[in-house]
A and B are shown apart, each in its own frame.
Chain A
Amino acid sequence: MKLTKSFNRSLWAFHFNSGSCNGCEIEIVATITPRYDPERFGIKLVGTPRHADVLVITGPVVKKMKDRLLRVYAQMPEPKVVMCVGTCGISGGVFYDSYNLEGPVDEVIPVDVYVPGCPPRPEAIIHGVVKALEKLERIQGGGR
């Protein structure tokens, strides 16, 4: 199944920090800079969830950010894919026993792609985006 033409070379991602330690943030920004340069495939970070196809979430979802995460998720147009970057968003990681977590991320919103690592390497993040693209193709084809 091929994606509609509008996705060709234009996969836009919105990055949401749900209380992360900044490690994943700087690796995500490192990913979009010249050494890795996914922008040549049209993958880039955008400033608003309303323009985004992929929601990239970092951090273990602290209490204050849960409502904001739900709102950002609701603002994204369909079809959308959620990518969880970093171990603490997947399982809580090193913060597993904290009193201030609402996470892991998949207990707040449905997650499609998990990128483990603390933090994951830029190559792993790009691999995750490719998986997200495949998932979008499946959604377009009618299967979730």
Chain B
Amino acid sequence: MSEGSGRKAPYIIPIGPTHPALKEPVMFTFEMEGEMIKEVDFAPGQAHRGIEWMGMRRNPVQIVHLTDRICGICGVSHTFAFARAVEQIAEIEVPERADYIRALIAEFERIQSHLLWAGVAAHELGFDSLLHLTWRVREQSMDVIENLTGNRVNYGIIQVGGVRRDIVPEQHQVIEDCLNAYEGVISKLLELFLDDRSIALRCRDVGVLSHREALELCTVGPTARASGVNVDLRQDYPYSAYGDLDVRTILPDQYAGETRGDVYDRIVVRLLEVGQSCGIIRQCLDAMPAGEVTAEPKIAKLLAICKKASGEAIGRVEAPRGECFHYVRMEAQEAPHSWKVKASSYSNLMSWIPMLRGEQIADIPIIVASIDPCLSCTDRVAVIRGQRRDILSKEELHRLSVEATRRLQV
């Protein structure tokens, strides 16, 4: 339908919040012209549970179980970032062995998360046999995670001051077997995803995010790296054990020889990172020193230390989706005075708009999935008074923000 000829052009397609192509609730509004997307808008916020508000009423030992449940896929990253913030405030020295175990678990999380994403991407392309293959491969890492932490999801392994379980020598063999299996299968996966003609046709030059847009929209993680932005917290701002480990940013031109910033490049980056994580886990196993795994095994003592602490700190961690950022302020009370979470998907969501503009309806699922959105991580702020939902203008938001900063300065 050309513009002006019919009264319905351009027409609107709403998708969501409950839709089979979306695993999580988010509402899209597409302004279409024929098959082409003219304009796109989205409204997240359907998974907001008020976690920060609840956290400000609990003590840090209780909060680590809440941070696990900010997101079921990158559970360890949020807990990791929160624990690092609290440890800086309370001046708790984390034992070196605990640092290595944290890094090791975080890398296993990256492996399972990227394989999960690869499967979902294959499903969105209509390639279900590849979904089933990648998820079968993923189960091996889930087995190791369960062996190490006791849980498949929401590991509950990180505690303020260290980790709650040690890795015993028998478990080294389990990890080793899993890594060997992955290193054998990764070339197969690369071949299946990257040499497949239909995947290349669907993903090459689709959902392009230029290097400039990636920088301007402050994207993080694999989404930024696929557009050629050289950012990786593990390399740029090494935390925990990563200072001792050799981590180099993975960029798509290392595989394909060029960076186009399309969906294909995002597949390249994530699959190569699975191999990289295997290497990092090996380094962790080799370099892991003996010793304690927690600075303070007695919870009551740990709580007493946290209760005396005052100050503010940030914890930054490279989650599978990018930088995960926790700001904590404690004022010698049981619960933190303020706590702010900025999940990686929060930085990445806005990149949907340039990616989707000018594309076709059929490409919506794969482009939306290509940034690996995690809305349960992102949905942090909703203003609800009574039954009325307020929409805040930019000026009002700015005023509230200034007021909040003033409160913190007091």
Contact A29 B54, CB 8 Å, known A17-B24, A21-B69? no
B 112-146 contacts with A by CB, 8 A: 116, 119, 131-133, 135-136, 138-139, 142
Inter-chain CA distance A34–B140, complex, in Å, is 12
Give Cα A119 to B119, complex, Å: 20
Residues from chain B with Cβ under 8 Å of A17 in the complex: 18, 23-25, 47
Chain A 1-48 interface residues, beta-carbon cutoff 8 Å to B: 16-27, 29-30, 33-35, 47-48
Docked complex Cα distance between A64 and B389 (Å): 10
- Cβ-defined contact, B131 with A33, below 8 A: yes
Whether B238 sits at the interface, judged by CB under 8 Å, is no
Chain A contacts of B49 at CB under 8 A?
19, 21, 60, 62, 95, 98, 100-101
Contacts of A111 in B (CB 8 A): none
> Separation in Å of the A57 CB from the closest CB of chain B?
11
Q: Which of A83-125 contact B (CB under 8 A)?
A: 88, 93-95, 97-101, 118-119, 121
Q: Which of B70-78, B263-271, B284-292, B312-320 contacts A (4 or more CB under 8 A)?
A: B70-78
**Minimal Cβ-Cβ distance residue in B for A24:** B72
Cβ A27 vs Cβ B152 within 8 A: yes
Q: Is B154 an interface residue (CB 8 A)?
A: yes
Using an 8 Å CB-CB cutoff, how does the interface string of B22-55 with A read, 1 for contact, 0 for none?
0111000000000000000000011111110110
Residues of A45-101 at the interface with B, using a CB-CB cut-off of 8 Å, are: 47-48, 59-60, 62-65, 68, 72, 88, 93-95, 97-101
Task: Give the CA-CA distance A118 to B75 in the complex, in Å.
Answer: 12
Scoring B24, B45, B153 by chain A CB atoms within 10 A of each residue's CB, the highest score goes to B153
Whether the pair B54, A119 counts as a contact (CB closer than 8 A) is: no
The answer on a CB contact under 8 Å between A100 and B384 is: yes
Contact B47 A62, beta carbon cutoff 8 Å: yes
Which single member of B65, B132, B152 contacts A34 (CB below 8 Å)?
A: B132
What is the interface of chain B mostly: helix, strand, loop, or mixed? loop
Contact digits for B91-108, partner A, Cβ 8 Å, 1 yes 0 no: 000000000000000000
Q: Are A33 and B73 in contact (CB-based, < 8 A)?
A: no
Q: Measured between alpha carbons, how far is A93 from B54 in the docked complex, in Å?
A: 12
B374 within 8 A of A: yes
Contacting pair B135 A99 (CB below 8 A): no
In contact, A100 and B46 (Cβ under 8 angstroms): no
Residue of B nearest to A46 (CB): B20
Is there contact, CB below 8 Å, between A65 and B17? yes
For the complex, is B208 an interface residue (Cβ under 8 Å from A)? Answer: no
Contact A68 B18 (CB under 8 A): yes
> How distant is the Cα of A35 from the Cα of B142 in the complex, in angstroms?
12
Interface check B382, CB cutoff 8 A: yes
Q: In the complex, which residues of chain A have a beta carbon less than 8 angstroms from the beta carbon of B382?
A: 64, 100
Question: Quick one: which of B45, B54, B132, B154 contacts A118, CB cutoff 8 A?
Answer: B154
B337 to chain A minimum Cβ distance, whole angstroms, is: 18
A23's contact among B69, B119, B133, B136, by CB below 8 Å, is which?
Answer: B69
Give the contacts of B70-89 with A (CB-CB under 8 A): 70-73, 75
* Distance, CA A59 to CA B71, complexed state (A): 12
CB distance from A67 to the nearest CB of B (A): 10
What residues of chain A lie closer than 8 Å to B69, measured between beta carbons?
21, 23, 88, 93-95, 118
Closest residue of B by beta carbon distance from A23:
B72
Given A25-B23, A60-B49 in contact, is the A35-B139 Cβ separation under 8 Å? Answer: yes
Q: In the complex, are the beta carbons of B71 and A94 less than 8 A apart?
A: no
Closest residue to B146 on the A side, CB-wise? A121
- Is A20 touching B51 in the complex (CB atoms < 8 A)? no
Q: Is B148 interfacial (CB-CB < 8 Å)?
A: no
Task: Give Cα A25–Cα B286 distance, bound, in whole angstroms.
Answer: 35
Q: How far is the CA of A72 from the CA of B19 in the complex (A)?
A: 11
**One of A26, A35, A68 near B116 (C-beta < 8 A):** A26
Q: Once the chains are docked, how many angstroms separate the CA of A88 from the CA of B54? A: 14
User: Which 5 residue pairs across A and B have the least CB separation, nearest first?
Assistant: A23-B72, A47-B20, A33-B135, A22-B72, A98-B50
- 7 A-B residue pairs with Cβ-Cβ distance under 8 Å, sorted by A, are A20-B47, A23-B75, A34-B135, A65-B17, A98-B51, A118-B154, A119-B152
**Residues of A near any B CB (own CB < 8 A):** 16-27, 29-30, 33-35, 47-48, 59-60, 62-65, 68, 72, 88, 93-95, 97-101, 118-119, 121
